[in-house]
Structure 1
Amino acid sequence: MAKETKEKVGNTGLEQAEGVSVAELTPEEKARAEERILRQIATELKLPTGKVKTTVGLLDEGNTIPFIARYRKEMTGELDENQLRDIEERLQYIRGLEERKREVLRLIAEQGKLTDELRAAVEASAKLQEVEDLYRPYRQKRKTRASVAREKGLEPLAAWLWSQPRTGAAMVEAARYVDESKGVESAEAALAGAMDILAETIADDAKLRAWLRRFTHDNGVIATEAKDKTAESVYEMYYEYSEPVRRLPPHRILAINRGEREDVLKVKLEVAPEKIHDYMARQFLKRESAVREVLLAVIEDAYKRLLAPSIEREVRGELTEKAEEQAIKIFGGNLRSLLLQPPVKGKRVLGVDPAYRTGCKLAAVDDTGKLLEIAVTYPTPPNNKVAEAKAVFRRLITEHRLELIVIGNGTASRETEQFVSSLIGELKLPSLAYCIVSEAGASVYSASKLAQEEFPELDVAERSAISIARRMQDPLAELVKIEPKAIGVGQYQHDVQQKRLSESLNGVVESAVNHVGVDLNTASPSLLSYVAGVNGTTAKNIVKYREENGKFHSRKELQKVPRLGAKTFEQCVGFMRVSGGEMPLDNTPIHPESYTVVDRLFRELSIPLNRIGTEELKASLQAVDPNAMADKLQVGVPTLKDILDSLQRPGRDPREELPPPVLRTDVLKIEDLSPGMELQGTVRNVIDFGAFVDIGIKNDGLVHISQLSDSYVKHPMDVVSVGDVVTVWVLGVDLKKGKVSLTMKQP
């Protein structure tokens, strides 16, 4: 506020200012606003404005991000998917911000209080918070002490105080406003009302609020304590805890928030008020004034009663927002890694949904995932029908020639694992092994409408066993049937904004599906619905067409699917695969719009199209100079490079390049572990402070961030991903708590 506030008290409600009207934007003004948006995005993301402008144009035309990333590389300068999503996200935010600016300017103008200076401040705002701060003095408030004082006619007294006269006495001036008919019964009451008006005016000052937020963030301390120190809970480390706001890591912010929400913790943000009072006095008050002491009291009241609670909410809200963004980012990274786990192809699998009282549900599936048989056994407590269970397992394994037993990692999984390990030892079948998979979301899928349609005659647990078996055969195809946020590979995913989480995770699934591509003749509606440009209705129409007309023989046939228009075809077709069809290129990621380029390429190489997949073609393609050939074919170098890569490996599944999952034949108990022991494990989850690794015991071991590498690690995701097979060494074993600490640093 400072000088500006003293000169323009009318802008904060103490006096009327002459209004400036807000007209609709002309086409020229809209164009300038759009240019401003593009420049802002380019500056924020450190990207050339031209690339941003082209990307925004493509998005506005209805193109999807996977399509732009893969098939419009020349236009965007080879921006990757993450950069494109960042542009899209900032574009939505800033366009929304521009709309809010217009709305705020209109609302202030309607009050007759919009000045040129205020308009310029609103238009220059780069954040929504800045706009709301500027609008705050003009927003319709519910009844406050200040509004009551205004109704009593005390604004002139407040204006006199704010003029900070060198002479005069506040109480004497206040006595002039005593009027019992207006409810002002004494000079003290009049002065108190005027002080309330000034306190609210100060608290609404945009520049002060911005400074206070920064100061509180940089100098504040979050302090927590238990509501009941004798109660046991997972929040015991926060029963008496404090940490500077600026150093709070995201996972700790979310943990504290949850503890507060569950009524276990009391949380407060502490900051020294003296420095704040001094700053406010320097900004607003003259050194020599007859009412300085009164105004110092106003400042203290404004901060303690109005500003401190509000700023604390805003600072904590900003912390929470950043922590949620980090949590969503981690969940998204883990989910992508999980979805892109290499499929275990060509194996007939027995899926096991373990349980105690209700028994283990078994589902035998063939190498395509087709259900062969369902059964139930009771090898775990309290039934302990081990011999009977072994007989059922033996029969299923023999009759259906099963090669892999997949056990869900839920309740009773380790007892079931011990049983299976013992059985494998007795059977002595060299081809038989087992593994544990995350069953997160399996119960969500098995109770879903989709599962009911797929297996109407089965109960929930039996469907779950099928899902567990299939997610080893093809994790992506099975996991897309589950709502992404139900797949538990994050931290505090239930504490973040669910809409934002869903949007982000759906983008991750879309990215993974299009990265791999889908088989047009086998893909489920769930899988097809994540292909670029395809929605749920179109996905069902594709499957219905396939069921009625038989398998697709070419990508072109997609155009016959009802309600699949030209734009949808353009966006999705490159991510669809048709193996063994009429056109060999239909089994590659090459878009049909580039088929003529491929035709010219093969003529240049004097090789017929039917040689795709041969070593002869591979050798010829490896000898091609992309830059020289791109000139000859009049095509962009990035597009040609993608074409050459696709032709060398037609039908390639990019997931196959990753290491396969760890298959086991024997079980490990925590009692078997000792410090220094070397183990192979699978990363199950990556979080801010480390990674959880499945080493074959009941609970996953933790590799703390400090133990991930000999060199400095900024974040665990820089070193490991979900599904990675890693070598670890045991650091420590806590038998009582069942916890194991691990290291990836070789002793």
Structure 2
Amino acid sequence: MDNKKMQQLISKELSIRPKQVESVIELLEGSNTVPFIARYRKEATGSLDEVQIKAIEDRYHYLQQLQQRKEEVLRLIDEQGKLTEELKKDIEAATILKRVEDLYRPYKQKRRTKATIAKEKGLEPLADELMKFAATSLADLAAPYINENVESIEEALQGASDILAERFADDAAIREKIRKLSWQNGKVLSAVKDQSLDEKSVYEMYYEYEEPINKIVPHRTLAINRGEKEDILKINIAVPVERVHQLMCTEWIPRTSSPAAKQVELAIEDAYKRLIQPSIERELRGELTEKAEAQAIHIFSENLRNLLLQPPLKDRFVLGLDPAYRTGCKLAVVDDTGKMLEISVIYPHPPKADPIQSKKVFKDILQRYPISIIAIGNGTASRESEQFVAECLKELNSETAYVIVNEAGASVYSASEVAREEFPDLQVEQRSAVSIARRLQDPLAELVKIEPKAVGVGQYQHDVSQKKLADSLTFIVETAVNQVGVDVNTASSSLLQYVSGLSKTVAENIVKVRGENGKFTARTQLKKIPRLGAKTYEQAIGFLRISEAKNPLDATGIHPESYDLANKLLEVASIMKEQLGSMEAEQALANLDISTLSSQWDVGEVTLKDIIDTLMKPSRDPRDAFPQPLLKKDILKMEDLQPGMEMQGTVRNVVDFGAFVDIGVKQDGLVHISKLKNGFVKHPLDVVALGDIVTVWVEKIEKDKGRIALTMLPPAKQID
């Protein structure tokens, strides 16, 4: 398959025009990054976004690997002198690796099997004789093969059957038919294997469970896989064996009364039971797991994207509180630039409870700093700490509010090399408090310091392919960072290394040069950074901002390659660069005739529109479109909840079966997928996203189990 055919196949599969696919592949092969292509090469790609470009890239790489495997298989079969024109066409036409391997199976060098041993004894001609279905008796057919290696008629017939069984099992066409029949008619069976290992009855619903293979939903696949791995469950695939046998017999046994028919039928049964069934079952389980993992990774990725794009709370002093019982609650005061000003510890909870001194320290901090918001981690002792904070604020009659912050991964960050370099003199727990405060100020800048999969906002993330998960999450982080842009004078190396084209080394070099020479005042200064060559500069510079640059365009998302065009637009609109961001400038730019200018200057309308949009809102942050966090001043207990109560909450996690919502009590409530909205919901992500502020109604409270059932469906109006 040449490049042209690959492009045509990708175009058909992804429903993207061939010219767009061709342009993307050409740009990728020119060492351009996905974010750069999506942002600055819209004319060439027809404005494809990062996800579409990544899909083209992934499929193209797969097809290249597939082509390499095809060439290798063709060579190996040809070396055996068995490559027919028909087989060659079948291999070349394959679009998935599984098909290539099925076609190669009969020619693959095998370890010693029953069939190879029978062939060594010279029994292959007998197998061929059986397939002629002559009227001759089996004894007469087998007699000529009795010798010092084959002692009996039975041994000869068994050897011939072993050869036929392997021949049948290696047939690519029949394997595909059986695979299809099994997928359409098979069932996943789950039974308890060792109930004693399931202390909390987590897998109880799967102790005696069955579901059609093609109907089982992804999270159930991952659940039974985990139960099997923990030796609690035993999983099988049940297939209508009679239909499989009938299918195979129809394929190889003609309507005949030949004595050989029964022997061939035994070989067919053996082929299926010993060779085909285990292999197909592995394939089906693998396919189910692959689909389930892809779904779990997708959910984790979408949740992470929404978490990273939470709007920053800019220009605010924040008090971070990392809750704990025995080791005390750590406090960290962070100024409006993210600089840590003070660290303290208080003991408001048992076993070392000292509420009086704790309140004194806490109130003193609030009175000494202009803190407008308190960030409380949602880990152990979170709700007790929330109650303590609410009481202090009430006693102070303070206007300060608080927010519960998802602290997933904070402990991973605190013990990391990045955190040790940032705060060498702080304890691990103290670093956590700083991280929690900064997560509120700028979630993206803080969360990039943590390995993406440590941010627990998914389902079954430990049960999926860790490489695929890491690749997907890294792409999500890169996309988010480049969509927002990075202030090169304040960004950490952890944030900079996600910028298009920048490696970890170059990111560290930028921070090092900044530390030695002071703030950058022009984008061109970055050309002098060690290891930052011309190509890297081209790929990265549009995403790097210099907020107080000599040239105001350096503070925007406009790429330097378009500065001349931007200056022409400003000239036509009669605007000075220094006026950018003003209402006057916005109105003048909005009145430009893009279509006319595009024709006059021979520049694409998409490019012009992008530049004008950026000039109109030069400091626009895409995160501003997302809901602001829910600020609170008082606490609610589970005992305060009543069915029918209307509340506002924050979506903390979205999974296949619903969404978990923080309504301000100790336990997040679950809105089941059926209660997200009226009508059919394919997936919760179609209705809600992590970080959304939603209105919910309490449906059911199970205090003993710590469960809260919520609904987003407004209760029916009462009729008088």
Q: What TM-score does the superposition give when structure 1 sets the normalisation length?
A: 0.94
**How big is the shift at 1:351?**
1.1
CA contact (8 A) 2:573 2:592 kept: no
CA contact (8 A) 2:195 2:232 kept: no
Alignment of 1:345-384 (within 5 A): 345-384=314-353
Given the alignment of the two structures, is residue 695 of structure 1 paired with residue 679 of structure 2, yes or no? no
Q: 1:93 — aligned with what?
A: 62
RMSD of Structure 2 on Structure 1 (CA): 1.2
Q: Distance between the aligned counterparts of 2:601 and 2:358, measured in 1?
A: 65
Given the alignment of the two structures, is residue 552 of structure 1 paired with residue 520 of structure 2, yes or no? yes
**How big is the shift at 1:179?**
2.3
SS across alignment from 1:334: helix
Given the alignment of the two structures, is residue 594 of structure 1 paired with residue 565 of structure 2, yes or no? no
Aligned partner letter, 2:118: A
**How big is the shift at 1:399?**
2.1
The correspondence for 1:106, drawn from 75, 78, 94, is 75
CA contact (8 A) 1:621 1:644 kept: yes
Change (3 A) 1:399 1:608: closer
Q: Which segment drifts farther, 371-380 or 45-54?
A: 371-380
Given the alignment of the two structures, is residue 603 of structure 1 paired with residue 533 of structure 2, yes or no? no
Change (3 A) 1:489 1:631: same
Per-residue CA distance 1:685-733 (angstroms, 9 max, x = gap)? 1111111111111111111111111132111111111101111111111
Alignment of 1:485-496 (within 5 A): 485-496=453-464
Given the alignment of the two structures, is residue 744 of structure 1 paired with residue 704 of structure 2, yes or no? no
The correspondence for 1:447, drawn from 397, 415, 421, is 415
CA contact (8 A) 1:219 1:271 kept: yes
Aligned partner letter, 2:168: I
SS across alignment from 1:477: helix
**How big is the shift at 1:633?**
2.9
Given the alignment of the two structures, is residue 217 of structure 1 paired with residue 222 of structure 2, yes or no? no
The correspondence for 2:168, drawn from 202, 206, 217, is 202
Per-residue CA distance 1:459-498 (angstroms, 9 max, x = gap)? 2111111111110110000000000011011111111111
Q: Distance between the aligned counterparts of 1:393 and 1:214, measured in 2?
A: 66
SS across alignment from 1:495: coil
Per-residue CA distance 1:311-356 (angstroms, 9 max, x = gap)? 0110110111011111111111110000000011122111111111
**How big is the shift at 1:403?**
2.2
The correspondence for 1:143, drawn from 102, 108, 112, is 112
Q: Which segment drifts farther, 32-41 or 62-71?
A: 32-41
**How big is the shift at 1:377?**
1.5
Per-residue CA distance 1:57-77 (angstroms, 9 max, x = gap)? 000001011111111011011
Q: 1:5 — aligned with what?
A: none
Alignment of 1:273-284 (within 5 A): 273-284=241-252
Aligned partner letter, 2:463: D
Q: 1:245 — aligned with what?
A: 213
Given the alignment of the two structures, is residue 517 of structure 1 paired with residue 482 of structure 2, yes or no? no
SS across alignment from 2:459: coil
Q: Distance between the aligned counterparts of 2:524 and 2:274, measured in 1?
A: 69
Aligned partner letter, 1:304: K
Q: 1:716 — aligned with what?
A: 684
Q: 2:128 — aligned with what?
A: 159
Q: 2:37 — aligned with what?
A: 68
Q: Distance between the aligned counterparts of 2:641 and 2:138, measured in 1?
A: 79
The correspondence for 2:156, drawn from 167, 190, 200, is 190
**How big is the shift at 1:381?**
2.0
Q: Distance between the aligned counterparts of 2:228 and 2:472, measured in 1?
A: 26
CA contact (8 A) 1:364 1:374 kept: yes
SS across alignment from 2:31: coil
**How big is the shift at 1:290?**
3.2
SS across alignment from 1:207: helix
CA contact (8 A) 1:600 1:633 kept: no
Q: 1:418 — aligned with what?
A: 387
Q: 1:500 — aligned with what?
A: 468
Per-residue CA distance 1:559-601 (angstroms, 9 max, x = gap)? 1111101111111111111112111111111111111111111
Aligned partner letter, 1:221: K
SS across alignment from 1:579: coil
Q: 1:543 — aligned with what?
A: 511
CA contact (8 A) 2:194 2:231 kept: no
The correspondence for 2:654, drawn from 686, 698, 703, is 686
Per-residue CA distance 1:212-260 (angstroms, 9 max, x = gap)? 1111111111010111346543111111111101111111111111111
Aligned partner letter, 1:151: E
SS across alignment from 2:462: helix
Q: 1:637 — aligned with what?
A: 605
CA contact (8 A) 2:413 2:419 kept: yes
Number of residue pairs aligned between Structure 1 and Structure 2? 712
Q: Distance between the aligned counterparts of 2:331 and 2:139, measured in 1?
A: 86
Aligned partner letter, 1:582: K
Q: Distance between the aligned counterparts of 1:723 and 1:606, measured in 2?
A: 42
Alignment of 1:260-299 (within 5 A): 260-288=228-256, 289-299=258-268
CA contact (8 A) 1:597 1:635 kept: no
SS across alignment from 2:145: coil
The correspondence for 1:226, drawn from 192, 195, 200, is 192
Q: 2:718 — aligned with what?
A: none
Given the alignment of the two structures, is residue 54 of structure 1 paired with residue 23 of structure 2, yes or no? yes
Q: 1:176 — aligned with what?
A: 144
Q: Distance between the aligned counterparts of 1:227 and 1:743, measured in 2?
A: 36
Q: Distance between the aligned counterparts of 2:314 and 2:582, measured in 1?
A: 23
CA contact (8 A) 1:601 1:633 kept: no
Q: 1:8 — aligned with what?
A: none
SS across alignment from 1:349: strand
Q: 1:4 — aligned with what?
A: none
Q: Distance between the aligned counterparts of 2:573 and 2:364, measured in 1?
A: 56
Q: Distance between the aligned counterparts of 1:50 and 1:543, measured in 2?
A: 41
Per-residue CA distance 1:237-295 (angstroms, 9 max, x = gap)? 11111110111111111111111111110110101100111111111111113311111
The correspondence for 1:121, drawn from 90, 101, 104, is 90
**How big is the shift at 1:616?**
1.3
Per-residue CA distance 1:357-388 (angstroms, 9 max, x = gap)? 11112211111111111111221222222112
Per-residue CA distance 1:401-422 (angstroms, 9 max, x = gap)? 3222211111111111111111
Which runs of no fewer than 5 residues in structure 2 stay unpaired? Answer: 716-720
Per-residue CA distance 1:59-109 (angstroms, 9 max, x = gap)? 000101111111101101111111111101101111110011011111112
Q: Distance between the aligned counterparts of 2:335 and 2:38, measured in 1?
A: 36
Q: What TM-score does the superposition give when structure 2 sets the normalisation length?
A: 0.97
